[in-house]
Amino acid sequence: MAVAPPSYCFVAFPPRAKDGLVVFGKNSARPRDEVQEIMYFSAADHEPESKVECTYISIDQVPRTHAIVISRPAWLWGAEMGANEHGVCIANEAINAREPAAETEALLGMDLVRLGLERGTTAKEALDVIVALLEEHGQGGNYYEDADSCHSFQSAYLIVDREEAWVLETVGKYWAAEQITEGVKCICNQLSLTTKIDAEHPELRSYAQSQGWWTGEDEFNFSEVFSSADDHLDCCAGKDSIEKKEESITVQTMIDILRDKASGVCIDSESFLTTASVVSVLPQNRSSPCIHYFTGTPDPSRSIFKPFIFVDDVKLVPKAQSPCFGDNDPAKKEPRFLEKPDRRHELYKAHEWARAVIESDQEQGRQLRKTMLELEKQGLEAMEEILTSSDPLDPTEVGDLFYDCVDTEIKFFK
């Protein structure tokens, strides 16, 4: 069984989060050399009976899809994490369970993240979209761009909006979910739901009984019933990081948690690296905009979190998008992944230089990191002004916000 990379997702609600804000964060741990790109797709209307081509399979399209911004491994269709124009954020965790994940190509957990964002106006609506598609199409297929072996996983999701969050954990087409409206929550690459289940697949318990995993007499504990026997790890690294924060949780606190290598939240191991990160702030006051900070580059401790706000005319950012190989992409041809094209985008290439300088840990590296944090701080302060201002947001001022931040970062590295 493939080892699931230890990614972490977090959410904090008031009063643990500051000033009536919901704060969401995710580190995406993936194979070290994998490139993630940041993609914006505007809302769109679709022809009746049209199809949408996901990573491995095509499914029926819906009449209208919402505007989304996502961070995704550049070879696939779906998303590791992202947000939509309605203030819904979703992140996905690959998990191992008692039942091995299917290698047969179906929807990837990451496809379901994007489908949930495109089709759900609230966290609960996105959850309903994901479980309906799971029931109809199933999940399966290779999670990595690897021709030599198939790494397939079950999936867990953290689905958040301005009011509530849902932790959704899936095993095949079976699932359970817990609603969260207060405090803090961390999920990682193991099942975490226990006896508090607020929604579930109608046949979940009878399926567990039919497999001999649950007697029907004890209290039903989802992770005890469905976890693989050797899965004794827990998400303590992430849980401790967020629960031990005594101050109220802000965007900066969440960024600091995601940067923490000592705790294990920021992964930098032989096979895995935090290849991209996101922090979102969702004000419970609907007159304030949601702000989403993406790195688009590996290792958050050496990356700049750059803000994005949904408005009607968002300027596309080709410099954070990987080259497109169309139908010639080895990920789209069968047998898959026989070649690995260079998927690095302009931001990634510029950032590679910065990472190398910082790793050398000389004076130049220290100075460089200091200046990067200074750039980031300017962005955070400008966004803080938008959140605390009583004036309505001027869409023309933020349409090219993310574009400008990426552009400035690349120029700075050069």
Alpha carbon distance 267, 79 (integer Å): 19
Structure letter (DSSP) for residue 176: E
Tell me how far CA of residue 7 lies from CA of 19, 81, 140, 277, in angstroms. Answer: 28, 11, 19, 10
- Determine which helix (DSSP H) or strand (DSSP E) holds 278, and give its type and residue range: strand 272-283
Find out whether 177 and 222 touch, Cβ atoms under 8 Å.
Answer: no
Query: Residues 218-249, buried b or exposed e (16+ Cβ, 10 A)?
Result: eebbbbebbbbeebeeebebbbebbeebeeeb
Rg (CA), the chain: 20
Query: Residues 196-217, buried b or exposed e (16+ Cβ, 10 A)?
Result: ebeebbeebbebbeeeeebeee
How many CA atoms within 13 Å lie on the side-chain side of 107? 28
Q: Which of 9, 54, 235, 405 is catalytic?
A: 9
Find out whether 30 and 36 touch, Cβ atoms under 8 Å.
Answer: yes
Find out whether 29 and 291 touch, Cβ atoms under 8 Å.
Answer: no
Q: Is 188 a catalytic residue?
A: no
Find residue 279's DSSP bridge partners.
25, 293
Alpha carbon distance 88, 165 (integer Å): 9
Bond into 63 cis (ω within 30): no
User: Catalytic site residues?
Assistant: 9
